Amino acid sequence: MEPLQENAIAIIGVGYVGLPLALSLAKFHPKVLGYDLDNERVSELNSGFDRNNNLKNVIPSNLEFTVDLARIERATTYIITVPTPIDEKRLPDLNPLKHACSDVAQVISRGDLIIVESTVYPGVTEDVCGPLIQEKSGLKQGKDFFLGYSPERINPGDDKNTLEAVVKVIAAQDDKIMDRVKKIYEPVVKAGLFAASSIQTAEASKIVENIQRDLNVALMNELAIIFDKMNIRTADVLEAAGTKWNFQKFTPGLVGGHCIGVDPYYLISKAEALGYYPELIRAARRLNNSLADYVSQKTIDLLAISGVSVADSRIGVLGMTFKENVSDLRNSQSPVIVNELKKYGGKVFAHDPYISESSFLESHGIDLTGWQDLRDLDAVLVIVPHDFYIRENREAIFETIKTDGIFIDVKSAFDRTLLLGEQKYWSL
């Protein structure tokens, strides 16, 4: 086996976060290793294929992907980027992170640095990861190995706000280790680094970023529901309100993805363990989680008003991913709407140009429909306004709907003047 350089960096988990990080680090560091438990994924990456479409160029020669834990043993820095999901009770599930820490514990040596990038509640890096690594390795935290934290800010599908272009928060257990952390990220992040006052501060900052957005979107969603009951179009209200210099421009919509719909529960759990019940954060989560049901019921109501039985209807649901122009299905709310409409007997045609039929069937058990098969529909819901819909097929969408059908524009992405015949329009 070819020996690795002593200053190799090992990335633990090469998914949506780990792969872009590995690719960026490899531009400036002599050896980068991507370690993952998924043998199929590692094989794909070593062949130059990424199912998440994050590979823009050929993999550099100093970057290697492996499932062999022994291959990363000579690294001196380990960066953990595994997911931190929630369980069925919406409680933090730290098992992937703990598993990663256990793996690292098997291969670290004295003097090594472990940086956590996974989103966690304050205290996890030092109070969960550190003791676990110490127990499994027999090395002492803060003496034989050292801890750092740097929350990821990857935005899937965003070619502008990349790792290099966004200020990166970093933290470490002391000033000496902070210097080591800086040397790892400084060449990569052109926007600069922000040294947080403590690891717990850095952990909290990432959760706050996502909670803030969750609350703002929840406010817009609640306003949208109120205005809908008043027969006022929310987009028109926001356009008028947005003329004031200090109005914050958020819009209503379904909340999905790995971060915003998950991270608030980490702080909620920690707060409740401390005896505080965070009412506002919980309320925002409840509201945003309920919006898919609201859109489903609104569709049923609009069909009924038009004299169409849901059981006899043909409904197109466009956009299955959690956001525009990506293939990421994590926590997408579109399948919730599809399955809810199917429960009422509607014949639902799900479409998304960014995902393959096989992956979608495997993840959600819903058949995907080809674009050419979307026709004679009683209603069309554009859940995720991909460029494919609003640019490439902006007018063709309306031709898929009956002349007296319903067009549901969840995010107000379309011009209502494009409606054909007696077609009806609704948006949040």
Which residue, among 410, 400, 428, 318, has the nearest Cα to 418 in the 3D structure? Answer: 400
- Give the whole-angstrom CA distance, residue 178 versus residue 195: 8
Amino acid occupying residue 72: I
What is the set of domains in the chain, with CATH numbers? Answer: 9-196 (3.40.50.720), 234-426 (3.40.50.720)
**Which helix or strand (DSSP H or E) is residue 214 part of?**
helix 199-229
Residue-wise over 382-411: b if at least 16 C-beta within 10 A, else e?
A: bbbbbebbbeebbeebbebbbeebbbbbbb
Residue 63's DSSP bridge partners are 32
Length of the chain: 428
> What's the pLDDT score for residue 259?
87
> What's the pLDDT score for residue 417?
92
Catalytic residue numbers read 259
Per-residue pLDDT of the chain (428 residues; tens, 9 = 90+): 344 444 799 999 999 899 999 999 999 999 999 999 999 999 999 888 887 776 766 788 999 999 999 999 989 999 999 999 999 999 999 999 999 999 999 999 999 999 999 999 999 999 999 999 999 999 999 999 999 999 998 877 778 888 999 999 999 999 999 999 999 999 999 999 999 999 999 999 999 999 999 999 999 999 999 999 999 999 999 999 999 999 999 999 999 888 899 999 999 999 999 999 999 999 999 999 999 999 999 999 999 999 999 999 999 999 999 999 998 888 999 999 999 999 999 999 999 999 877 777 777 889 999 999 999 999 999 999 999 999 999 999 999 999 999 999 999 999 999 999 999 999 99
Total Cβ atoms within 10 A of residue 210: 21
Residue 112's DSSP bridge partners are 145
Residue 257, classified by CB atoms within 10 Å of its CB into exposed (0-12), middle (13-18) or buried (19+), is buried
> What's the pLDDT score for residue 425?
96
CA torsion, ordered 39, 41, 47, 48, to nearest 10 deg: -160
- Give the whole-angstrom CA distance, residue 384 versus residue 144: 49
> What's the pLDDT score for residue 67?
97
Contact yes or no for 148/173 (Cβ under 8 A)? yes
> What's the pLDDT score for residue 357?
75
Residue 67, classified by CB atoms within 10 Å of its CB into exposed (0-12), middle (13-18) or buried (19+), is middle
